[in-house]
Amino acid sequence: MSQSITQGGAAEQEVRQEDQQRINTFNKLNSRLHELQAGVKAKKSELEDLEDAGNELMLLDDDQVRFVVGESFYHAGTEETEEQLQEVTSGVEQEISNMNKELLEIQESMASLKKELYGRFGNTINLEE
């Protein structure tokens, strides 16, 4: 099955099945790229909040801290809370790292697809975000 595309009086260009699959793949990658970018932004905000919490914890004079788990609080020692905060922080940092790796892979794949599709269709196709 093939279709033709025409833009602004340019010559018709046949869209083959494999071309359509590449376009669809590009669109899926583009959607995932935007999801990951939003996720990284949210995780960075969470990381800043955790760092702020760590700084506040250092300034506390109390030996006991109320720690939130889900929707409830429990009392914990300052050292225990620092350890838990460090574990959560390193987990978030790892998630950000993994997301950034996936972002790079997606960007490379998208660049390759852009090159192929622009090579085939020229200016008759728009693959910008």
Predicted confidence (pLDDT) per residue in 6-43, tens digit: 555 455 678 899 999 999 999 999 999 999 999 999 99
Tell me the CA distances in angstroms from 121 to 21, 112, 129, one per residue in order.
Answer: 14, 14, 17
Is the pTM higher than 0.85? The answer reads: no
Portion of the chain with pLDDT greater than 70, in percent: 90
Angle subtended at Cα 3 by Cα 107 and Cα 34, rounded to the nearest 5 degrees? 20
Query: Contact at 8 Å (CB) between 109 and 29?
Result: yes
